[in-house]
Every structure is written in C-alpha cells, then in structure tokens.
Amino acid sequence: MKYPDFTLENKLSGVIAGVDEVGRGPLAGPVISAAVVFIDRNTIIDGINDSKKLTPQCRQVLYEKIISVAKFGIGMASVEEINSYNILQATKLSMKRALIDLDLELDYVLVDGNQPPEVKWQVKSIVNGDNLSTSIAAASIVAKVTRDRLMQELHNKHPEYNWYKNKGYGTKEHLNAIGLYGITEHHRRNFAPISRAL
C-alpha cells in the first residue's frame, strides 16, 4: 500500500497547512474540518493515511501522535448553518474556521478536493489529497476523530438513532429510527431523506 508523503509539501516553501473535512454526507450532525501543519517535515509518523482507510483504533492512535507533534486547528459548521446555506458552503466555512483556529501565518494551504474555501493564503486544491499529502491525511484523521467523538456525545442524548455506530449517516437503521421517532435538532432538514420526513 502506498502511503501519503511530504512530496507536495516539499515542492513548496514555508509553512504549509493540510486541510480536510469530515461529515459532508451524513443526515445528522455538523461538518468538521481540521487544518494540520508539520513544522518539521522530517517528522515521520508511520501509518498516516486517508482516515477512511483506517480502523477506529488506528485513527485514535494516530490522532494522539499527530496532535503531539503537529500544529492543528478545528473548524465546525453547525446543522443550523448547513440548513441555512448548503453543505458545500458550510464545508468551506468549517475549513476557513479550522485555518483561523490554527492561528499560524501560512505560506500555502493544501485542501483536499476541488472546492477550496476563500482565504487570505495561497491555496492549492488537491484531488485525492488525503491519499497523497501527509498534511492532508493527518487533517482527515484529526477531523474524523473529532467528529466521531462529537457524534458519541449526541448519541448519549439520542441513543435511539445509534449515532455511535452510524455517525449520522443514512443507514437503514438510522432511516428506520427517523420513521419511528421523527427528527431532532441535529438532523439536516435540507437533506432529502429528512425533508421528506417533515
């Protein structure tokens, strides 16, 4: 298996942040973005990869390693913001907030995908970036662990939807629970399965 590396970062100079988001597709919960900067790109953390390719246990171990050696910021766009704007604009907002939370003067921002936020730094959109750039892959891990923890907290308030397991995604179990119990303030009202349930 090929792992992300610092090739993209090393082609640029200065302080470079990798940015990725988690939670664009779920029917419930916020979208979370993370921005990660490895000040010392000689730092090697074995196993960093796109968060979707890692087990929850592996993500947790890597998360702890990443936050111990890298600078990071977290940004969130709430369900209310997703409902008010749309998921794309809310995602960009969460990315921008992650960069603000990072609180570093940056030279470049590497963003996974092709829909970067408008920010004051030079931005490079990298399709499949979480498979190519260590900084972006690390951001995907930090964002995923952060969002999973948040969904666990929401699960404790609404266990009937089993968000601990499905993380708010539209699984059959989640859709059945919506049919039985209706929706909560944490559901995205402008997503089709939810808007049909209203």
Known binding residues for a divalent metal cation are 20-21, 112
Q: Look-up: residue for tokens 């059959």?
A: 172
What does residue 4 show for φ and ψ, rounded to 5 degrees? -60, 155
**Eight-state DSSP code of residue 11:** T
N-to-C CA span, the chain: 45
- The annotation places the binding site at 20-21, 112
For residue 146, give the amino acid letter.
T
Angle (deg, nearest 10), helices 56-69 and 134-157: 120
b/e map of 127-136 (b: 16 or more CB within 10 Å)? Answer: eebbbbbbbb
Instruction: Give 119: exposed, middle or buried? Use CB within 10 Å, 0-12, 13-18, 19+.
Output: middle
